[in-house]
Structure formats: structure tokens, C-alpha cells
């Protein structure tokens, strides 16, 4: 087997490609070898003309950024006029395209600030500092992506500090693409991993902090500079931390809910001033705008004293923006956008719905073990006790037979009564009944009326 065939086989097994897609992979690798490829690592192919091809998206990237601090307008000009590989259609990437390069499991120190790690999914693309400009713009603010925290945000157009860079990209076309511009299937983006807990707060490695008491998700830090109310509102609504698009400016009650006189830390640059809230949310000032307004004034909250006050919207005196978003919650259960549901009492994570059809015990076990919801790989079949922990007679859903009800949180969608559990005895396996809340045993081969509901232990 040739090196090309070996690589094609690896990619085929990794992505479960169809026959036409396998052919494209194989042909692309063969062409790459014939065009003096420099290196192939995973999904990325580096060439000796200073370009790197991402075979998942068919985007071609410059092998390195511009290498120095740059304003957004200059960054756009740099990208538009870049001529790497002899191509003339380079442009500034979108936030989504930059986010596709982020991988928290890969890291290297920044070239200019080696205290910080930069998380780029391949070593073939040299990002020299953690902020890279993106193409989205609105008002006087322009978008960026942060390769330290994996977060999206906006900076004022006048900013050329804090390590802002330009990284050109181009989209492969039919006449120059190895893959005829046909998208390939790829694994789901991995869900954020938990970094640290502080009471009701959980910090994740995508730059977000979850407040489990309210199910509010906060940006792990504010915008970092003086900002007026209108720009703060724009900043919050266009923030893209964690990949979410529904960020907004918080209400007074929501910000006030963060205030905790028992907790405190001193802000950088404000010697002697402390703010009182969890250390998992990093504030750079004690004044933060909230959504309430009256005429030309808007409210703000002071984290040093736990008080509300008012300023003119146009005032940016030490004021900051702290984005927030809300998810679905039902008592102790929290539903996430990736079709997972967290039980905060047991710290078990469940799928938001079952497998969808009748299934034998063996196939149910295989379904659970191979489930990849949310990007996690450690799903399994639940025990009877774990299923019983979901049963709540005060909750009611209508099953597939409308005469009977199912007693479980509405955030987990199930339509039959019997669910397989992991315990076995001989040819029988355990099951749990969500109509009456009782446990039972049944032949493992029985598919009629049985479903699979994967679970995992949240880290």
C-alpha cells in the first residue's frame, strides 16, 4: 500500500466517508504529492508556496499571519492584497472561519507574549498572537476571534494593540481545488470542557461561565476598555463567545445577582479597588452598563459597592460591557444548545431525546456507547438507579399512546414508557418504566416498546 493510500485509509476511517468522498481524498493526496507538498498533518496540507489547505472546509490559509499589531482597516487591506501562492482572491476571514481553526487541546506560546498559549488546531499555521481580526463590522466596532480563549468579540476600529493580527484566507474553487469544492463530512466540534468551579459558577475553556442557580451564561471577562452605552449594547449583542449568537446586555437584576460581598478581588490597574463577585468572571472596572434606560440616561451597576446609578448614554467614564445569555432550565435540569441536558443534582448529562425507535438491549447498549452528542465520546447506557432518578410524578409528558403519560422533565423528550438499563441477569436485562416509576426485567432480545437513552458523567 502506498503512502497516499495509507493516508486516504486513515481519513476514510476517521470520518466514515462515502465512496465518492474517499475518491476525492485519495485524488487530492496524490495531487498534493505531485505538487511538491511540504507536510501533511491531520486534515491540513502545507505547501512550499506559503499556503495551508484545510481539507475539512476546503479553505486555504496563509501559513502565517502578518506578524505585527495592525488596525482593522489595514488588516482588511493586507488580506485583500495578499498574493500567497500566486492567488489573487485572498480576503479577511469571518469569525466562524477563524473559530474553525480553534482547538483547546492544541497549544503553543505566542511569539510576542510567551506567557499566553494560543490554541490553533494545526502547527502548520503560525498565529503569532491570540487576537485575529474578522470581517464582520458594525458601527465603529469590528469583529475578532481570540485564540487564547476561543471567544468571539468586537474591538473599536482604532485598536491596533493587544496583539491584533491579520490572517488571510481564500475559498478553494473548482479549477484549483483538490476536492472540486465538495464539502466533506467531519466530526462535531467538541463541546467546552469545565475548567473550574466556584459555588454556583462553572468556568469553561471557551471563555464562558455558567451560573447554575439562574442558568445564565456570562462572558468570562468584560470588554476591557471604556465604552458608552450604545457601543456596549452593540458589543454584547455581537459577542460570539462559545460560538453562541444570542448574547445581550444584562438587566440590572442579572448583574446585581452576580454581586457577592463575601467574595472580592482587586482589579488590574485599580490599586485599592475591589469588586465583589466570583473570581471566574474577570472585570477590568467596577462600573458595568445594564439594559435599563430613561431618556438619554442608562443605568449601570457598581461592583465595588453593590449599588445602581445612572449616567448619560454617551458617557464612557470607566464603564464596561459584560455580555450574558440565557438557556432553558427546569428546576435542577439545564438544557444546552447541543441537545444535552445536565442534571445539576447528580451531575449526570443526558441526551435531550431517545434513539427514536424500538430497540433490543444489545443494540441499545451499542447505540449508547457510540453516541457522540455534544462532541463527547464517553456516553453509556444508564443504570436503573440513574433512570429512576429522572422519574418525577409532578412532571407530565404525553407518550406515543395519548392515554398514558410519562413523568420526566420536559427538557428530555421521550415518548414510550420502557427504557433499557445496563444491568443484566442471564438472558434478561433491566428496564425502567416512566409511567408508574417501577423497575423490571425483560428478555434482552425484545425490541417492542423499548428505547435507549444515553447518559454520561459530567466532568
Assigned domain for 14 exists: no
Q: Give yes or no: residues 209 and 108 share one domain.
A: no
Q: Give yes or no: residues 285 and 351 share one domain.
A: no
- Cβ atoms 280, 204 nearer than 8 A: no
Q: 84: number of CA atoms within 13 Å, CB side?
A: 25
Domain boundary among 281, 306, 326: 326
Query: At 436, which CATH number?
Result: 3.10.100.10
Q: Give yes or no: residues 281 and 363 share one domain.
A: no
Residue 181 region, left (φ>0) first, then alpha (ψ -120 to 50), else beta? left
For each of the chain's 459 residues, which pLDDT tens digit applies?
444 444 444 444 444 445 554 554 454 545 444 444 557 777 788 887 889 988 888 899 999 999 888 889 899 999 999 988 888 899 999 998 999 999 888 877 765 555 677 889 888 999 988 889 999 887 778 889 988 888 888 887 776 556 789 999 998 653 343 333 333 332 233 356 788 899 989 998 888 998 877 778 999 999 988 999 999 999 998 888 877 778 899 988 889 999 999 999 998 777 778 999 999 999 999 999 999 999 999 999 999 999 999 999 999 888 999 999 976 778 788 887 678 888 878 889 999 999 989 999 999 999 999 998 877 889 999 999 999 999 998 888 876 555 678 899 989 988 888 999 999 999 999 999 998 899 999 999 998 889 999 999 876
DSSP H stretches of helix in 273-383: 361-369
Assigned domain for 8 exists: no
Where are the strands (E) in 124-211, listed by range? 131-138, 141-146, 151-156, 164-165, 169-171, 194-198, 201-204, 208-211
Structural domain for 100, as ranges: 50-171
Query: At 151, which CATH number?
Result: 3.10.100
Number of domains making up the chain: 3
pTM of the model: 0.44
* Beta-carbon contacts of residue 241 (< 8 Å; ≥ 6 apart): 149, 151, 152, 153, 206, 207, 208, 219, 220, 247, 323
The DSSP code sequence of 39-89 is EEETTEEEETTSEEEETTTTEEEESB---S---HHHHHHHHHT--GGG-S-
Amino acid at each position: 500500500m502506498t503512502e497516499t493510500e495509507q493516508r486516504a485509509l486513515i481519513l476514510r476511517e476517521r470520518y466514515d466517508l462515502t465512496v465518492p468522498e474517499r475518491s476525492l481524498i485519495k485524488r487530492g493526496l496524490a495531487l498534493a504529492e505531485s505538487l511538491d507538498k511540504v507536510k501533511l498533518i491531520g486534515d491540513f496540507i502545507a505547501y512550499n508556496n506559503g499556503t495551508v489547505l484545510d481539507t475539512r472546509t476546503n479553505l486555504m490559509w496563509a501559513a502565517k499571519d502578518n506578524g505585527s499589531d495592525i488596525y482593522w482597516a489595514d488588516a482588511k487591506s493586507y488580506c485583500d492584497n495578499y498574493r500567497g501562492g500566486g492567488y489573487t482572491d485572498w480576503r479577511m476571514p469571518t469569525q466562524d472561519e477563524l473559530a474553525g481553526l480553534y482547538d483547546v487541546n492544541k497549544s503553543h506560546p505566542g511569539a510576542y507574549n510567551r506567557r499566553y498559549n494560543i490554541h490553533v488546531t494545526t502547527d502548520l499555521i503560525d498565529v503569532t498572537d491570540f487576537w485575529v481580526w474578522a470581517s464582520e463590522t458594525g458601527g465603529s466596532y469590528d469583529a475578532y476571534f481570540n485564540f487564547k480563549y476561543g471567544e468571539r468579540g468586537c474591538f473599536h476600529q482604532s485598536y491596533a494593540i493587544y496583539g491584533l493580527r491579520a490572517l488571510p484566507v481564500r475559498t478553494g474553487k473548482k479549477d484549483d481545488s483538490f476536492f472540486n469544492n465538495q464539502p466533506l463530512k467531519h466530526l462535531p466540534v467538541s463541546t467546552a470542557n469545565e475548567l473550574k468551579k466556584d459555588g454556583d459558577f462553572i468556568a469553561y475553556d471557551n471563555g464562558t461561565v455558567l451560573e447554575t442557580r439562574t442558568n445564565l451564561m456570562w462572558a468570562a471577562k468584560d470588554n476591557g476598555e471604556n465604552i458608552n452605552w450604545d457601543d456596549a449594547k452593540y458589543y454584547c449583542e455581537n459577542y460570539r463567545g462559545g460560538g453562541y449568537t444570542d448574547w445581550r446586555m444584562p438587566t440590572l437584576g442579572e448583574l446585581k445577582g452576580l454581586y457577592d460581598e463575601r467574595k472580592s478581588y482587586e482589579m488590574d490597574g485599580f490599586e485599592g479597588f475591589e469588586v465583589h463577585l466570583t473570581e471566574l468572571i474577570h472585570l477590568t472596572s467596577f462600573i458595568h452598563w445594564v439594559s435599563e434606560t430613561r431618556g438619554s440616561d442608562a443605568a449601570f451597576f457598581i461592583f465595588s459597592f453593590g449599588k445602581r446609578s445612572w449616567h448619560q448614554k454617551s458617557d464612557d467614564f470607566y464603564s464596561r460591557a459584560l455580555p450574558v445569555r440565557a438557556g432553558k432550565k427546569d428546576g435542577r435540569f439545564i438544557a444546552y444548545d447541543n441537545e444535552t441536558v445536565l442534571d445539576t443534582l447528580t451531575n449526570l448529562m443526558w441526551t435531550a431525546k431517545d434513539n427514536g425507535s424500538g430497540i433490543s438491549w444489545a443494540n441499545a447498549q451499542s447505540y449508547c456507547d457510540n453516541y457522540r452528542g455534544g462532541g463527547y465520546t464517553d456516553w453509556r447506557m444508564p443504570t436503573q438507579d440513574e433512570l429512576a432518578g429522572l422519574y418525577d410524578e409532578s412532571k407530565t409528558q404525553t407518550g406515543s399512546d395519548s392515554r398514558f403519560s410519562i413523568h420526566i422533565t420536559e427538557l428530555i423528550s421521550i415518548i414510550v414508557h420502557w427504557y433499557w438499563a445496563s444491568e443484566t441477569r442471564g438472558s434478561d436485562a433491566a428496564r425502567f418504566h416512566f409511567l408508574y416509576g417501577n423497575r423490571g426485567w425483560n428478555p434482552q432480545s425484545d425490541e417492542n416498546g423499548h428505547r435507549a437513552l444515553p447518559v454520561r458523567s459530567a466532568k
